[in-house]
Structure 1
Amino acid sequence: MISQQQIDAFAHGFASLDRDNLARLGELYQPDVHFTDPLHELRGLTALTDYCANLYSNLSSVRFDFSQCSAIDDEQALLCWTLYYRHPRLAGGREVSVPGVSQVWFRNGKVFRHRDHYDAGALLYEHIPLLGSLIRLLKRRLT
């Protein structure tokens, strides 16, 4: 059974990651971690570390604010968050915020499965010149 303390420790550890301390991923994740988000599917700690290194190297700033974290069964938790980031070529370099939820499954105190749910358009596509305008137009027409 996972405890609230384990869930909070994971959220705090993840939120404290940056380009200079990605070796700490091994403190949070099992070596055989399976990570999925709307844009990627990765298997293994090395692949996750490489992905994070690439992500952090391309961003001017990035941070996660966790708002609610709770267990939903013996090994699974949901973590609600908002991602704040700046990329020099997206959104004119302004800060972008994207809400999301992570489903994480724990084994022996570390995460072995991590699945992120968020709007990929709000994260990326809407902030690309020309493409972003088209996506925002389509969203307005659908609502």
Structure 2
Amino acid sequence: MEQHLINFVDIYNKLSDKNLNLLKSIYDENVIFVDPLHEVEGLEALTKYFENMYANVSSISFDIKEHFVLDNMGFLYWDMKFSHSRLNGKKVITVAGHSKLTFKGSKVVNHRDYFDVGALLYRNIPLLGQVIKTIEKRATS
């Protein structure tokens, strides 16, 4: 099981908009992928999700901080670094998160990501980000 998780991480570190066919080597045909913004069912839909993600970012990478395995599940703790032409003045945004992966054999059948949507998106949108930062400042003072 540990090797399946290591293989998963290796593939993610190689992923780009040019080699999304690698997804089929780590995800089951009927995979369910859920994050705070999306729910995707099936490998074809997941591949389209990744196509859209790569089309909308200038750069993206994942730095895996920790990982562990329990039965048929893998857990990853990561920092995602990305830049987007319409967020944070095109500067790199770092978001901490974690993933729970359920394996069937060597492939992931369920992938659930957890992260702070505010850190990913809302705080980095012009104007809205300033409003959120002002609200947070008042709430903590």
TM-score, length-normalised on structure 1? 0.94
Aligned residues: 140
| Structure 1 residue runs without a partner (length 5+) | none
Give the Cα separation in 1 of the matches to 2:139 and 2:44.
40
Shift of 1:6: 1.5
Give the Cα separation in 2 of the matches to 1:31 and 1:139.
42
Give CA deviations for 1:17-54 in whole Å, capped at 9, x if unaligned.
11101111000100000000000001000111001000
Q: CA RMSD in A?
A: 0.9
- 2:118 match: secondary structure: helix
- 2:82 match: secondary structure: strand
Runs (4+) of structure 1 exceeding 3 A deviation are none
Q: Residue 125 of structure 1: which of 115, 122, 137 is its match?
A: 122
| Structure 2 residue runs without a partner (length 5+) | none
Percent identity (aligned):
41
| Residue correspondence of structure 1 range 57-136 to structure 2 within 5 A | 57-71=55-69, 73-136=70-133
Aligned counterpart, 2:35: 37
* Mean CA deviation greater in 111-120 or 12-21: 12-21
- 1:34 match: secondary structure: strand
Give the Cα separation in 2 of the matches to 1:40 and 1:97.
19
| Residue correspondence of structure 1 range 11-50 to structure 2 within 5 A | 11-50=9-48
Q: 1:139 to 1:25 in 2, by over 3 A?
A: same
Shift of 1:139: 2.2
Aligned counterpart, 1:10: 8
TM-score, length-normalised on structure 2? 0.95
